[in-house]
Amino acid sequence: MRNKSEHSSCELPEPSRKTKLNQNRQYRFQDNFRWKGVKVCEYKTGGDNWDKIARQTLIGAGNESTKFHLRYFEIAPDGYSSFEKHKHEHVVIGVRGKGKARINRRTIELNFMDVLYIKPDEPHRLFNPFNEPFGFFCIVNAKRDRPKAIKEGTKGQRHIGTK
Amino acid sequence: MRNKSEHSSCELPEPSRKTKLNQNRQYRFQDNFRWKGVKVCEYKTGGDNWDKIARQTLIGAGNESTKFHLRYFEIAPDGYSSFEKHKHEHVVIGVRGKGKARINRRTIELNFMDVLYIKPDEPHRLFNPFNEPFGFFCIVNAKRDRPKAIKEGTKGQRHIGTK
């Protein structure tokens, strides 16, 4: 298992003093689901309950004053996000390939342009049991609580695997 | 010109007393950029400075407590949104076909997955000079001010047309 702290340097970016607040911006879409001017980060720098997932923060790292952040996550085949819960909600939009979402005890498939709303405090994980990359937008409140990891095998979560 | 009031019944939805707050939801993507369970509305019910544009509110009409709303707009060929400004910001993601955005005096093209951030109080319009439908997500703060229409030909905006 990796020895990593629980939070990503990309997750809650500090506004840069060099960047003016609220400038118009266009992030051009490029090959392979990259956006010009947007860096690809690790999903988190910590935790051992995720694998093969990368993050791009499209809105929220550029000194915008929006009450929300827009991120793009991509999960490689066999990868998965943390199984976790938090008070803030998720809005997920499938945009590349397909994947699955575990919402408490249910598992659903997420395809291109499917929109998923995950309510507060709901245990959840996104994962990719397929052979192609699974990419999705995830929109969250700008001000949000830190996720709490849920251990596999916790009471009531016994049957939740990654496939 | 149409005789319509300035605001849409879909724009600032009243929470339904019948709908419980914050239930998990999945909106399945369907043919022709429709989502199951999401109704297609007029862009606005008022104003005469827009044409051939429809709205679907994906997040924000279902009693979610998110600090943001997610809408999908679609502009038919030769259609355009209001030329307007407001204090709240826009985040726009191109998802169907291609179109253009006028940001103050500049015009840019918006293609699939391009992401556009429009800063507060910036005059803007989205329009479609192409032959296929132009569809995009637009994310806004849930609490936001009402747009102010800008007349074509206003000082400093003289050269702004729809093509």
Q: Encode pLDDT of B82-121 as tens digits.
A: 999 999 999 999 999 999 999 999 999 999 999 999 999 9
| Residue numbers of A between 75 and 134 with CB closer than 8 Å to B | 89, 91, 93-95, 103, 108, 110-120, 122
What is the Cβ-side half-sphere exposure of residue A25, based on CA atoms within 13 angstroms? 22
From B61, B75, B110, B138, active-site residue: B138
pLDDT on residue B152: 72
Nearest to A121 by CA among A103, A107, A96: A103
State the complex-level ipTM.
0.86
Cβ neighbors of B65 (< 8 A, separation 6 or more) are A89, A120, B21, B22
On whether the CB atoms of residues B50 and B42 are closer than 8 A, the answer is no
pLDDT (tens digit, 9 = 90+) per residue, B6-46? 444 454 444 444 557 789 999 999 999 999 999 999 998 77
Nearest CA in chain B to A115: B27
Q: Mind listing the domains of chain A with CATH numbers?
A: 42-149 (2.60.120.10)
**pLDDT, tens digit (0-9, with 9 covering 90-100), for A134-143:** 999 999 999 9
Chain A residues whose CB is inside 8 A of the B118 CB are 24
Nearest CA to A81 among A135, A31, A30?
A135
Residue A6 has pLDDT above 90, yes or no: no
> Is it the case that residue A7 has pLDDT exceeding 90?
no
Instruction: Tell me the sheet residues that pair with B149.
Output: B84
Q: Which residues contact B81 (CB under 8 A, 6 or more apart)?
A: B43, B50, B53, B73, B75, B125, B126, B127
Give the minimum alpha-carbon distance from A67 to chain B in angstroms, rounded to a whole number.
Answer: 6
Residues 6+ apart with CB under 8 A from A49: A82, A83, A84, A149, A151, A152
B41 catalytically annotated: no
Tell me the pLDDT tens digit for each residue of A19-41: 577 899 999 999 999 999 999 99
